[in-house]
Amino acid sequence: LAKTTQPISMDSYEGQEVNITCSHNNIATNDYITWYQQFPSQGPRFIIQGYKTKVTNEVASLFIPADRKSSTLSLPRVSLSDTAVYYCLVEGYSTLTFGKGTMLLVSP
Amino acid sequence: ETGVTQSPTHLIKTRGQQVTLRCSSQSGHNTVSWYQQALGQGPQFIFQYYREEENGRGNFPPRFSGLQFPNYSSELNVNALELDDSALYLCASSLDGDTEAFFGQGTRLTVV
């Protein structure tokens, strides 16, 4: 049973805000929600992590409702260089479980 | 730059051979994990080492083995290579098993 469910792909244009939603109905009490970004032939890169409510850093925001059964990664004003695969993970420890991720394509 | 370096970057081996991949963790990190990423798939967890002891293992056969050294660098060894072992192998380091892990660029292994 997959721990997370997210769209396979999304398309956007430069300058737009992109929201990627992830479902994690079976999240455990001690699990954190973490998002990674991966470019082709590179290792994944940590973007943001949260437990509940809203977290914001210099590159993204993460919205988590009270029931924690889903989360939304928000990328403000995307650029072409944001084209990548985005993974949503729910983990209580660093043995990370990756799904297939969401392939985000940003066009001019 | 994550501070995690892997060598070699690319490697071609013949079926049945053995291979050793290396990883240098970010300074101060005592936990290292290895992942296998096939084309078009997300990374799959192989195993994790914490302070030189294996601390968890994914669904990989025993011919996948590892080591972590006192300086927290690490090796992944794969014996009796199979064609399906062709993949990008990633190592990730973290401090005390934190979920914010830092990945290297990976080693692209091709088995022919």
pLDDT digits (tens, 9 = 90+) for B5-22: 999 999 999 999 999 999
Q: Is the confidence at residue B3, as pLDDT, over 70?
A: yes
A59 touches chain B (CB under 8 A): no
Instruction: Please indicate if any CB of chain A lies within 8 Å of the CB of B90.
Output: yes
* The pLDDT of residue A8 is above 80: yes
Q: State residue A98's pLDDT score.
A: 86
**pLDDT attached to residue A1:** 52
pLDDT of residue A94: 63
> Which pLDDT band, with edges at 50, 70 and 90, does B72 fall under?
confident
Average pLDDT, chain B: 93
- The pLDDT assigned to A30 comes to 85
pLDDT tier, B79 (very low <50, low <70, confident <90, very high otherwise): very high
Residue A97 has its nearest CB partner, among B41, B45, B90, at B45
- Evaluate if residue B30 carries a pLDDT over 80: yes
Would you state the pLDDT for residue A2? 58
**Of B108, B109, B101, B106, which Cα lies nearest the Cα of B32?**
B101
pLDDT at B86 over 60: yes
Residue for token digits 């997300």? B42
Q: A11-66: per-residue pLDDT in tens?
A: 999 999 999 999 999 898 888 999 999 998 899 999 999 999 899 999 999 999 99
DSSP one-letter string for B34-85: EEEE-TTS--EEEEEEETTEEEEE-S--TTEEEEE-TTS-EEEEE-S--GGG
**pLDDT value for A91:** 82
Tokens linked to A66: 């009270």
Is the CB of residue A43 less than 8 Å away from at least one CB of chain B? Answer: yes
Are B42 and A87 within 8 A, CB to CB? Answer: yes
pLDDT at B62 over 60: yes
**Is the confidence at residue A10, as pLDDT, over 60?**
yes
Distance between CA atoms of residues A6 and B61, nearest Å: 29
Query: Does residue B89 contact residue B106 with C-beta atoms inside 8 Å?
Result: yes
Verify whether the Cβ–Cβ distance B99 to A97 is below 8 Å: no
Report CA-CA distances (Å) from B21 to A77, B37, B89.
Answer: 39, 14, 8
B50-79 mean pLDDT = 93
- Mean pLDDT of the B94-100 span: 80
Q: Is the CB of residue A50 less than 8 Å away from at least one CB of chain B?
A: no
Q: Do A100 and B48 touch (CB under 8 A)?
A: no
* Whether residue A96 has pLDDT greater than 90: no
